[in-house]
Amino acid sequence: MTEHRIKIVEKILNANDRLANANRQRLDQSSTYSINLMASPGAGKTSFILATIHALLDENIQIGVIEGDTAPVTIDSDKINAAGMPAVQVNTGGECHLDAVMVENALDQLALDDLDLLVVENVGNLICPAAFKLGTHSNILIASVPEGDDKPYKYPNIYRGLDVLIINKVDLLPYIDFDMNYFRQGVEILNPGLTTFAVSCKTGEGIEGWLDWLKAKLT
């Protein structure tokens, strides 16, 4: 029974990976750099995207966003549209992650040739999104201070596959029991030398370093 289940899971993931490769080819052909933005609920994914958009308004960088949600709400995509950038809402139907099929359908609704950057805001979850490739160029995780410093130890898989880690809400460090050294040690064990930016979307602290990294990818 266990062997049968493993084969089914492998078949699903292999099919997803093939479609993810096709998504990557579409993005490469349009010269659109893309990131898969993951985090737990409330970590600040949408706030981070909006901070990035507002900071790049004068750079003539066109940003598109795919918003993944488990329910048919448009709260986040409405915020992106209000900021002047196109957004596509994807209702996962209760699924705890986006997959390559969902992203493929969303890509059909975007003018990729007009975009420099595509941000895929995955469903708020620290487990499922790590297993499904989407075709994006980079995997980025937002870990926020209020979540606690033990998350790399509790959810190791999502940290292993990262290209960039954002530590958000550092303005709350004086008020929350968060051991930054303990947190970073856990990350280093899983992903040595991982590019990390400590930021506050509220105050703007640390955002410049992130922007420098991002703009280097877009050139």
Q: What is the pLDDT of residues 14-38, one digit of tens each?
A: 899 999 999 999 999 999 999 999 9
Q: Give the closest residue to 26 by CA, choosing from 98, 105, 141.
A: 105
Report pTM.
0.92
Q: What is the pLDDT of residues 82-100, one digit of tens each?
A: 999 999 999 998 899 999 9
- Residue 132, CA atoms < 13 Å, CB-side half-sphere: 26
Q: Which two three-digit tokens encode residue 86?
A: 């196109």
**CB pairs under 8 A, 24+ apart, for 82-91?**
83/50, 83/53, 83/54, 84/53, 84/57, 85/53, 86/110, 86/111, 86/115, 88/64, 90/66
- Tell me: pLDDT of 49 over 50: yes
Backbone angles phi, psi at 136, to 5 degrees: -75, 165
Domains and CATH numbers, the chain: 2-218 (3.40.50.300)
Reported as type and span, the H/E element at residue 73 is none
Give Cα 31 distance to the centre of its chain: 19
Instruction: Give the per-residue pLDDT at 33.
Output: 98
Mean pLDDT of the chain: 94
Q: What is the pLDDT of residues 50-90, one digit of tens each?
A: 999 999 999 999 999 999 998 877 888 999 999 999 999 99
Q: What is the pLDDT of residues 169-213, one digit of tens each?
A: 999 999 999 999 999 999 999 999 999 999 999 999 999 999 999
> Longest Cα pair distance anywhere in the chain, in angstroms?
58
